[in-house]
Amino acid sequence: MFTKLSIAILLAFSAYVHAETSAPIFFEDVGSIEYWFSIKYQKYENVKDEQYPEILIYYGVKGSGINRVDGWFFSCAKAGRTCSLIFMADFGESRYFKPAKVAMNKNNLIIRTSDVEIAFKITK
pLDDT of residue 80: 66
The amino acid at residue 9 is I
Using the predicted structure, report yes or no on whether residue 53 has a pLDDT greater than 60.
Answer: yes
Sign of CA dihedral 88, 89, 91, 93: positive
When pLDDT is cut at 50, 70 and 90, the band that residue 35 belongs to is: very high
Per-domain residue ranges for the chain?
A: 24-98
Using the predicted structure, report yes or no on whether residue 19 has a pLDDT greater than 70.
Answer: no
Calculate what percentage of the chain has a pLDDT beyond 90.
11
The 3-class SS string of 49-110 reads CCCCCCEEEEEEEECCCCCEEEEEEEEECCCCEEEEEEEEEEEEEHHHCCCCEEEECCCEEE
Phi/psi at 34 (nearest 5 deg)? Answer: -55, -45
Looking at per-residue pLDDT, the higher value among 1 and 74 belongs to 74
pLDDT of residue 14: 40
Could you read off the pLDDT of 78-115 as tens digits, one per residue? 766 788 898 888 888 888 888 888 888 888 888 887 77
Mean pLDDT confidence for 118-123:
78
Using the predicted structure, report yes or no on whether residue 8 has a pLDDT greater than 80.
Answer: no
Using the predicted structure, report yes or no on whether residue 11 has a pLDDT greater than 50.
Answer: no
